[in-house]
Amino acid sequence: MNPIISIITVTMNHLPLLKKMLSSLYIDNPPKVNFELILVDNCSTDNTEEFIRAHYPQIRYYKNAKIAGFAANNNKAASYAKGEYILILNPDIILLKDSIDTLYQYLQDHQEVGIVAPQLLNTDLSVQHSARTFISPRILMARIFTKGKDDSTNQHVKQYLMTELSQTDPSEVDWCMGAALLLKNSFYQQLNGLDEGFFLYVEDMDICHRCWKLGKKVIYLPSSKMIHAHQRSSQKINRKTLLHLKSMLYFFRKNRFKINR
């Protein structure tokens, strides 16, 4: 019997985080709905393959011969998916009770919705601002060059981060962070998956933008909760910052700097 949900995860030297994610998925808080996990290993050198083969032989594991971008790796995983639904899930996620089932039930019950995302929590269980408005060049510069130092005082940034968004009720939002996104497999194919023009970063905002353009909603669902062990990089302008800038420039250009629903 085919799974209902195909979980697709990309890892690259994330074994300590991946172990926690897998424990939450298979041991601590497994979903009731039938699922499969497709894991694409982006050339890890931390014994990920040996660990998976030894402890989780049920995982459909694929190791790249050469490093590829995040979008390309997720599309590769999705090409193997047998489920009616696809859950993009980062290896730094820890699932909490009923988190996947809650997303699945909501998407089943709301045909007008294209993508649904959970509430993401920090490791101290405080709420991450993972649902956001589409970004402008002004806000982009503020966030990149301050590394979030003014998130609590800059009114434009606060609006972008939707800091006043309900943390109890479902909300229509422009986009959600791609650490955990559920959508129908058929809709993923209709969207042509993630845009491989992005090597890293901004793929999540882009796919949500295209979801809206196809007449489907993006929903932030706080009743589904997951821990996201995400850490912002240092204050220095580094390679990740430059990759983020490159991806944002690509996003602005492909949309002719007109970013709306």
Q: Kindly report the CATH number assigned to the domain that includes residue 72.
A: 3.90.550.10
Q: Give a yes or no: residue 261 inside a domain.
A: no
Q: Give a yes or no: residue 259 inside a domain.
A: no
Q: Give a yes or no: residue 144 inside a domain.
A: yes
| Three-class HEC string of 60-112 | EEEECCCCCCHHHHHHHHHHCCCCCEEEEECCCEEECCCHHHHHHHHHHHCCC
Q: Give a yes or no: residue 132 inside a domain.
A: yes
Is residue 47 within 8 A of residue 34, CB to CB? The reply is no
Per the structure, the count of domains in the chain is: 1
> How high is the pLDDT of residue 231?
62
Q: Give a yes or no: residue 69 inside a domain.
A: yes
> How high is the pLDDT of residue 234?
40
- Tell which phi-psi region holds residue 243, choosing left (phi > 0), alpha (psi between -120 and 50) or beta: alpha
> How high is the pLDDT of residue 242?
85
> How high is the pLDDT of residue 49?
98
Q: Give the tens place of pLDDT for each residue, 217-243.
A: 999 999 999 999 976 544 455 778 788
Q: Identify the CA nearest to 174 among candidates 217, 225, 139.
A: 217
**Domain membership of residue 17 as a residue range:** 5-254
| Mean pLDDT score, 120-149 | 84
> How high is the pLDDT of residue 241?
79
Q: Give a yes or no: residue 10 inside a domain.
A: yes
| Mean pLDDT score, 146-155 | 65
Q: Give a yes or no: residue 29 inside a domain.
A: yes
Q: Give a yes or no: residue 118 inside a domain.
A: yes
Which H helix or E strand runs over 120?
Answer: strand 113-121
CA atoms within 13 A on the CB side of 33: 23
